[in-house]
Amino acid sequence: MTSLRNSRAHLPGPPPDAAPGDGVLQAVDLRKHFKLKGIGSRDVVHAVDDVNFELRRGRVLALVGESGSGKSTIARLLAQLMPLTGGSIRLHGEDAAVKNRRSFRRYVGRVQMIFQDPFGSLNPVHPVRHILTRSLRIHRGRLRGAELESALVELLERVQLQPAERYIEKYPHELSGGQRQRVAIARALAADPEVLLADEPISMLDVSIRLGILNLLQDLRDRLHIAILYITHDIASARYFADRTMVMYAGRIVESGDSESVTQDPKHPYTQLLVRSAPDPDDLEARARGARGEAPSLVKPPSGCRFNPRCPFATDLCRTEVPPLISVGDEREAACWGYSDRPDRPVLESAGLDTPPSSATRPTGGVA
Amino acid sequence: MTTPTQFDAASDAAERSRLVSASDPVLEIKNLSVDYGYDDDPVHVLRQVSLTLGRGEVLGLAGESGCGKSTLAYAATRLLPPPGLITGGEVLFTDRDGTKTDILKLDDRALRASRWQDMAIVFQGAMNSLNPVFRIGRQIADGIQAHRPGISRKEALERSAELLELVGIAPDRLRSYPHQLSGGMRQRVMIAMALALDPQVLIMDEPTTALDVVMQRQIVEQIAELRTRLGFSVIFITHDVSLLIEIADRIAIMYAGEIIEDAAALDVYQRPRHPYSSALLHSFPPLRGPRRELTGIPGSPPDLAKLGGGCPFRDRCAFAFDACSTVTPELVRPVVAGDDPRRAVACLHHDPAVVRAMGQEPPAIPVEISRSAHDAERNAAVV
């Protein structure tokens, strides 16, 4: 792999003694507002507000949220496919904002993206060979002949498309959805990236092959020590695949922590609702019932905590002031006033999955 | 082998899942076959599929994309777009007074009258099937007036308002355009429309796939509640088996154009009999319980155009044996002692007689597809 790390003198590279767990890409106070159409319209969609996190070598960070919560916007911001409204992106501690085409090229050589739809992200008129060759030539210089051939075979084998000869001349329409997604991953790997941004990489695939793709990404994390941002709406797959999980609601991070604790002992009322809403055949009783309400408009988001209109515990404090991320345990944070030490904080009923299912829907009450 | 405990557990499972006896079916699909393509070499996407929906029952239809679940629903309602062609079978609909009609033999007028009235369908991506340029009230009222010519506009709109209330939307939303509603609300409007003429069968094709889990939970609860109140039967099509286990009484699992397992919902989950059902259940990472390495199902679904004889799942099956590549398994009662007599599975492991007829000795049944109710209880006790 080291032979491939050429032409990288312009950007800060990983320190020679980089170890798994070291920070790679950092989002600092990320903010994105979209202007609404209309003459004289000053309204903006608050898609992402004050988002901070760090992607680390050989670690997977999951970003979970419902559709419209801003998770794909974050991926596109990190890939620098659109400009930031505020905040910064830092690669190995240095500001990575791209200023021109050349610096963008260098940046995408480090940070690659995998899209949701493998049917749309591969050009249907080119065979796999062309798709991968193009990516190799852009990112690794002019490979030719045997060198190119062995690089292609290596890529296909790394995404477990074996034997490589069987796939290399195929057009995308000749491949199944899972195989196409593997080709898309191989194309990203051609750049030998340090960061993979995977935007719902399995949600368009058949249920029986989703795990294959997740296990492949896991293998890349372990063998190549790639830092992965895994964006999903399926919190169960985040638990399976990710080391840490961040939950997003209406453009803000509401909870973060290691995946196991976030899913087994959710702290934020929204995470609790999310976890209880997931179908669970083993426990047909402990489900959220009577959950009501929908995600708010992001043009005029609710003041204070954006979850307050749906939160059973919300108080005046929640309706007026934005809760900061408060430490709620070992490397865990939740943006909920209930965990603060303010005297006017809301009283949360005891969290976790042991509470009776109706408790989440009742208005404020004592500790159960 | 048949200890009393086993029997009790089995009958208990049947009781819990409210298995409706076949004596009161509302929809019987018999040997339905569908081809795609008019030329000499059509693709057989449905091959001799039989399915019975009991009155008041929720039947889940699960399987991967391309396995024919939507085709089955569209063929049974005669909504199949070209080049789909129904090549055989019958779809018997039993009215409330007991008269049976074959949907496939209705003429155009009778079919038009029957649609929406007897059987209504909520389409896949229903959120986008509303007309964006008309208010939703008008869209619902138009449908009512088309079927009930005597009804005035005012009455039709009043009925529309009632329907919206039924699905939990404020009646003043009648004057909204579809784009003013959220995805979940649009899905509810579609359900309200489907219920407009009080149908006896409601077919829902992936009604919650485009929604997030919280909204999905709300819609599913709504359907369950309306079903109890109005007493219609539901065919619920989805690829999410874990959701079906919650909502459905019975689950039919499809693979490559055939039904390969048909059993009570909890039986499918706790005691799958087909290797594909078992593998499908292990394709979902669990949200609770121990974290474990999962593998999914190797390979991908077969190309229906190149399907020869034998079991269509054999190439991906961990338990395939010689006979699987020559004999096409038929739906039979599984051989496991204590099983519900009404469940059926299409796997040669459960049909040793056919294998012996071939002159081969059937191998022992793998434990994954022969767990008895007794085993499940013991496992539960250990956990």
In which band, very low, low, confident or very high, does the pLDDT at B184 lie, cut at 50, 70 and 90?
Answer: confident
Report the distance separating Cα A60 and Cα A218, nearest Å.
8
Nearest CA in chain B to A297: B182
CA pseudo-torsion sign A310, A315, A321, A324 = negative
pLDDT at B5 over 80: no
| ipTM of this predicted structure | 0.75
Q: Spell out which residues of chain A touch residue B289, defining contact as CB-CB under 8 Å.
A: 282
**Are B240 and A207 inside 8 Å of each other by CB?**
yes
pLDDT at A177 over 90: no
Contact at 8 Å (CB) between B225 and B256?
no
Q: Which residue in the set B217, B240, B295 is minimally distant from A277, CB to CB?
A: B217
Tell whether B383 lies on the interface with A, counting CB pairs under 8 A. Answer: no
Q: Which residue in the set B65, B214, B289 is minimally distant from A66, CB to CB?
A: B214
**Portion 169-198 of B in contact with A at CB < 8 A:** 182-185
Residue A207: per-residue pLDDT: 80
Which residue type is seen at B369?
I
In which band, very low, low, confident or very high, does the pLDDT at A362 lie, cut at 50, 70 and 90?
Answer: very low
pLDDT at B283 over 80: yes
**Nearest chain A Cα distance for residue B365, angstroms:** 23
Domains of chain B: 20-248 (3.40.50.300)
**Are A240 and B298 inside 8 Å of each other by CB?**
no
**Are A207 and B283 inside 8 Å of each other by CB?**
yes
**Portion 238-257 of B in contact with A at CB < 8 A:** 239-243, 245-246
**Nearest chain A Cα distance for residue B255, angstroms:** 12
In which band, very low, low, confident or very high, does the pLDDT at A364 lie, cut at 50, 70 and 90?
Answer: very low
Phi, psi of A102 (to 5 degrees): -65, -45
A185's tokens: 């991953």
pLDDT per position as a tens digit, A220-229: 999 999 999 9
Residue A288: per-residue pLDDT: 53
The pLDDT of A306-335, averaged and rounded, is 92
pLDDT at A170 over 70: yes
Residue A89: per-residue pLDDT: 94
Q: Which residue has the higher pLDDT, B5 or A241?
A: A241
Q: Spell out which residues of chain A touch residue B294, defining contact as CB-CB under 8 Å.
A: 211, 215, 240
pLDDT at B373 over 70: no
Q: Spell out which residues of chain A touch residue B183, defining contact as CB-CB under 8 Å.
A: 67
CA distances from B112 to A225, B106, B120, B123, B201 (A): 61, 9, 12, 17, 15
SS3 content of chain B, % helix, strand, coil (to 5): 40, 20, 40
The pLDDT of A35-54, averaged and rounded, is 86
**Portion 100-159 of B in contact with A at CB < 8 A:** none
Report the distance separating Cα A30 and Cα A51, nearest Å.
5
In which band, very low, low, confident or very high, does the pLDDT at B7 lie, cut at 50, 70 and 90?
Answer: very low
Q: Spell out which residues of chain B touch residue A232, defining contact as CB-CB under 8 Å.
A: none
**Are B183 and A67 inside 8 Å of each other by CB?**
yes
Residue A11: per-residue pLDDT: 54
Beta bridge partners of B158: none
Other Cβ atoms closer than 10 A to B353: 9
CA angle centred on A303, ends A297 and A304, rounded to 5°: 125
pLDDT at B291 over 90: no
A38's tokens: 């209309």
Beta strands B58-62 and B84-94 are unpaired
**Are B294 and A240 inside 8 Å of each other by CB?**
yes
**Are B287 and A289 inside 8 Å of each other by CB?**
no
Residue B372: per-residue pLDDT: 74
Q: Spell out which residues of chain B touch residue A214, defining contact as CB-CB under 8 Å.
A: 285
**Which residues have a Cβ under 8 Å from the Cβ of A198 and sit 6 or more positions away?**
A113, A114, A217, A228, A229, A230, A231
Is A223 strand, coil or helix?
helix
Q: Which residue has the higher pLDDT, B11 or A280?
A: A280
Nearest to B197 by CA among B138, B152, B156, B136: B156
Nearest CA in chain A to B280: A208
Average pLDDT value over all residues in chain B: 84
Q: Which residue has the higher pLDDT, B186 or B377?
A: B186
Strands (E), chain A: 23-35, 44-56, 60-64, 86-91, 94-95, 111-114, 195-199, 227-232, 244-249, 252-258, 326-329, 332-334
In which band, very low, low, confident or very high, does the pLDDT at B371 lie, cut at 50, 70 and 90?
Answer: confident
Domains of chain A: 2-8+19-35+42-246 (3.40.50.300), 307-368 (no CATH)
pLDDT per position as a tens digit, A97-156: 888 999 999 999 999 999 988 888 999 999 999 999 999 999 888 888 899 999 999 999
Q: Which residue in the set A66, A236, A279 is minimally distant from B246, CB to CB?
A: A279
Q: Spell out which residues of chain A touch residue B298, defining contact as CB-CB under 8 Å.
A: 212
